[in-house]
Amino acid sequence: MKHCLIGAAALWLLAGCAGPVHRTAHGFRTDGPAARFEVVCYAPEIVQVVKSPLFGEVDTAPTASVSMEPGKVRFDLETGEDGIIRLTTGALRVELDPAKAVYSFYRPDGTLLLREQPEAASHEEIYQGFLLEPGEAIYGLGQHRGGGLDQRGKNYHLENVNMEIAIPLFHSVKGYAVYWDNYSPTEFRSDGDGVSFSSEAGKNCSYFFLGGGSGDAVVRNIRALTGRAPMNPLWQFGFLQSRERYGSAEELVSVVKKYRELRVPLDGIIQDWQYWGDNAHWNAVEFLNPAYPDPKGMMDEIHSLHAHALISVWPSFGPESDIYKELQAENLLLGQSTFPQGNGVRVYDPWNPRARDIFWNHMEKSLWSVGIDGWWLDATEPEHQPVRPEDYDYRSPEGTYREMRNSFPLYSVGGVYDHQRALTGDRRVSILTRSAAAGLQRYGAHVWSGDLESTWTSLREQVQSALNLSLCGIPYWNSDIGGFFAGSWPGGNRNPGFRQLYGRWMQFAAFTGMMRSHGTNTPREIFQFGGPGDPDFDLQEKYIRLRYRLLPYTYSAAAAVTREDASLMRALFLDYPQDRRTWDEDTEFLYGKSILVAPVSTEDDTRSVYLPEGEWIGFWDGARLNGGVSFTRTFARDELPLYVKAGAILPVGPEVQYAAEKPWDDLQIRIYPGADGSFALYEDEGDGYGYEKGAFSTIRFDWNDADGILTIGPRQGAFPGMVAGRTFRVVVVRPGAGAGLDNASCDREVRYTGEIVTVDMN
């Protein structure tokens, strides 16, 4: 559908009137001279606006990103004396001005949230503009390099490529979001007070307005609309080691053994490409390389070392591979050229359910069957160099490639997730993917930021990338520690400059969804940087150990993602929306609700830190600081600036070699004084989907700061293998107690058996 909707609005403007207003089961519909205008209520805070041509069948069906169905929403509908059509739910008012063909969105109290931009000229593409308030900050739009956190004034071509993720959703600091429900290549423009989407193709102009009133509520509504995030396995929140590439089964296993010998924690090893052999068999989805003679034996040995393995699988296949031949026989390959060029490699059609079946069948037969634990789904954009004009005309069961372009990762990743879930519920699906679309979070996938250069600029841009993707509803994100391409550093891991960059990136990665070392040009394993006593080795070990010590906190935060639609990496404005200094803070974030992380991304080890209003406590020294101020200082090479909110309660776990080595039967509970606070400790089996049937437990901690009383509530729920009795070692954090990696400090020792306990910390 081209030449569509603003042109239709202009015709309506000339006519100056609308046809009859028809109340529907979920909203209303009215016709102008050239277009049909419809509002569909999905929830009191979520409505769809559809503008479609009068000719042909009306189709308000959303894209596959939308998993929600229109709800039974109570609403009032009236046409005022001014001719304006008003639909009002308990949380939102939508107005259509027929004289201008413009929709406006209000809070129930009459506060204007957003208004469409009036247009007087037609557009060749499917187009919609919106008017923002002066100074209104907006976020989201996927993942884009160098754009900052606030996307106001930025222009993007929204088409998935390596390092750029296209999600046509903007999230306002005012507490609403707009999701442009279109998968075709789209231009997002922001100029003055206007923003707009302009797409190459689609059956109509369709977008969703999502209210909420706060950033967290908007994320919750995005997840309600596009799907909620399941729990990832506990081991996936440990440390994972990778390289481009391990060249044999022996090398892969030897790395795990070396970590165990060094007693440095590790939970995962990742096998990159070419385990399949030559390019004619590119991504054959089986071990054809003779350097992997016994894949099952390899996996058995990795599992005996209490580690897990992910493996690289691409959506493209060499012409001599069995999977290529099977897909080709059923005409299930796209025509476009793809990497590696000149080898006849082609991409499969993920929009065809039969192609998704074939893809999984080969993964199950050759990889899952030998014990592979997770999937590194590389190049899910998909990789292309370049897409020719005629490639966009390829027709899948869901539409042309032009119409479906940006949904490739949703269908491809979703196919793998759905097939594994159908096979078994005993092991949680573990997926790492290079691209994304709205709704990807429902597959539990971790998105990574692609093949970055190993530069300080790349590191600096990672926070804004993570936060904008998170504000699109996708909570799990990570990056290659040290950046992928390290060729600009002579000597690689022996170069002091690269070692400094790698160490700072390692510190940041300890507070992302997945802590994963990967890259090319130089090996990245910890033992490549010396041994115990060497500063670069010790720095890495320190932050890997910190990652594991904080696992009870991280896993509980992940449970909040699943159970409450929370965000793991949090833009500061989510918690401090009235503080305008947080609106474009793109170098700091909150990890969970309590820990402020300010990565150092400068060669001189200096940075400015802003602490929002309130009282903060230094993680490393226990010192109290007042918020609402910035300070600049030089941080030691092994010091990541970390600050904890007053009132926070952090559970700290034991020293372990892998995530599930020890039960959480002896936890240090750190109380950060200065304000009241609470925390819910979440536990389950660590794998499998029993938690979906109620197999989990929570223990709530409440701190009364004025009285110095900690209340540990009764345990709620149960699961197989649950620790029945345990020790909580409670410490009020202060200089010299409960700081850094200290696990010895204890002010009160509490024996807990599941019943309520009151602890006087005075």
Do residues 300 and 252 touch, judged by C-beta distance below 8 A? no
Q: Which long-range contacts (CB under 8 A, 24 or more apart) does 30-38 make?
A: 30/85, 30/96, 30/98, 32/8, 32/98, 32/101, 33/8, 34/7, 34/8, 35/4, 35/5, 35/8, 35/9, 35/11, 37/96, 37/101
Going from the C-alpha of 579 to that of each of 135, 149, 366, 585, 616, the distances in angstroms are 13, 15, 54, 11, 16
**Out of 116, 125, 391, 451, which one is annotated catalytic?**
451
CB atoms within 10 A of CB 384: 20
CA distance 539 to 532: 10
CA distance 706 to 674: 8
Residues across the chain: 762
Do residues 597 and 590 touch, judged by C-beta distance below 8 A? yes
Mark whether 451 is an active-site residue.
Answer: yes
CB atoms within 10 A of CB 719: 17
CA triple 419-164-356, angle to 5 deg: 20
**Out of 267, 272, 378, 684, which one is annotated catalytic?**
378
Do residues 472 and 222 touch, judged by C-beta distance below 8 A? yes
Q: What is the DSSP letter of 164?
A: B
Do residues 547 and 526 touch, judged by C-beta distance below 8 A? no
CA distance 181 to 167: 9
Mark whether 381 is an active-site residue.
Answer: yes
DSSP string, 213-247: SSHHHHHHHHHHHH-PPPPPPGGGGSEEE--TT--
CA distance 509 to 542: 13
CA distance 145 to 167: 14
CA distance 757 to 726: 13
The residues facing 669 across adjacent strands are: 651, 730
Quick one: tokens of 229? 């995030």
CA distance 724 to 731: 22
CA distance 195 to 179: 13
Residue type, position 136, single letter: E
* Sign of the Cα pseudo-torsion (61, 67, 68, 69, in order): positive
CB atoms within 10 A of CB 331: 9
Do residues 187 and 158 touch, judged by C-beta distance below 8 A? yes
Distance of CA 85 to the CA centre of its chain: 38
Do residues 38 and 28 touch, judged by C-beta distance below 8 A? yes
Q: What is the DSSP letter of 347?
A: E
Using alpha carbons, select from 48, 3, 9 the residue that is nearest to residue 32. Answer: 9
Using alpha carbons, select from 316, 319, 358 the residue that is nearest to residue 336. Answer: 316
Q: Helices then strands (H, E): number in the chain?
A: 12, 46
CA triple 602-604-606, angle to 5 deg: 75
**Out of 381, 391, 541, 575, which one is annotated catalytic?**
381
Beta carbons within 8 Å of 577's beta carbon, 6+ residues apart: 173, 175, 214, 215
CA distance 699 to 681: 5
Using alpha carbons, select from 671, 540, 664, 653 the residue that is nearest to residue 241. Answer: 540
β strands within 344-433, DSSP E? 346-347, 374-377, 395-396, 399-400, 431-433
- Catalytic positions: 378, 381, 451
